[in-house]
Amino acid sequence: MFIDLLRKNRIIAVLLAILRIFIGYRWLAAGLSKIQGGSFEAGGFIRAASENAAVPEWWAGFLQAVALPNEEIFSFLVMWGELLVGIALIAGIFTNFAALMGITMNLSFLFSGAGMMDAQMAILTIFIAIAGSNAGRYGLDRWLIPFLKSKTFNRKLSPQL
């Protein structure tokens, strides 16, 4: 019943849009500050997190084995990921995917010991992801998703020779 309310109710869609825009603004601001600063490097944070005793051992192993050797890639992904998730949530475009990517980043920051704000944002973003298309009802998804469905899913696939 609660899931149906999240996924179908227009009043809830308005509340989800407000929540989506708020969370999107937070992501956008974080990404812009890193990009405009020009000197963001995730390496120091990754190194500190991998050595933190409070960080789960499996996550510290991932940070040491994968993230640290590729810290330039991870710096790029964090900056632009935050910016793009923010834009997508604010505009309501590919809302579910943006919410899932936001949750993924929030949880990775949380596992790394970044703080409780990431957990709060992840929990709020879960409501957006669960709401499905209702979360993007008052955004660009309202027009984009039906358009994409009509162009891709209703077309018969024929072999290209």
Residue pLDDT, tens place only, 130-156: 999 899 999 999 999 888 888 765 555
The mean pLDDT of 75-100, rounded to a whole number, is: 96
- The pLDDT value recorded for residue 160 is 56
Asked whether residue 44 is domain-assigned, the answer is: no
Token look-up 């696939």 returns 157
Asked whether residue 141 is domain-assigned, the answer is: yes
Asked whether residue 59 is domain-assigned, the answer is: no
Query: Is the whole model's pTM more than 0.85, yes or no?
Result: yes
Asked whether residue 83 is domain-assigned, the answer is: yes
Instruction: Report which residue type is found at 135.
Output: A
Asked whether residue 126 is domain-assigned, the answer is: yes
Token look-up 């812009």 returns 32
d(CA 24, CA 33): 14
**Which tokens is 54 given?**
């409070």
Which is nearest to 23 in space by CA: 108, 77, 101?
101
The mean pLDDT of 54-63, rounded to a whole number, is: 94
**Which tokens is 123 given?**
């929990």
CA 130 to chain centroid: 14
- The pLDDT value recorded for residue 153 is 56
pLDDT above 90 coverage of the chain, percent? 71
Which is nearest to 34 in space by CA: 82, 79, 87?
79
CB 110 within 8 A of CB 119: yes
Instruction: Report which residue type is found at 35.
Output: I
Largest Cα span, the chain: 58
Residue 157 scores a pLDDT above 60: no
Residue 65 scores a pLDDT above 70: yes
pLDDT tens per residue, range 89-116: 999 999 999 999 999 999 999 999 887 7
Asked whether residue 3 is domain-assigned, the answer is: no
Q: What is the mean pLDDT of the chain?
A: 90
- The pLDDT value recorded for residue 64 is 95
Domain range for 18: 11-39+77-153
d(CA 4, CA 10): 11
- The pLDDT value recorded for residue 84 is 98
The mean pLDDT of 21-39, rounded to a whole number, is: 94
Asked whether residue 119 is domain-assigned, the answer is: yes
Which is nearest to 68 in space by CA: 93, 92, 47?
47
Asked whether residue 93 is domain-assigned, the answer is: yes
- When divided into structural domains, the chain yields a total of 1
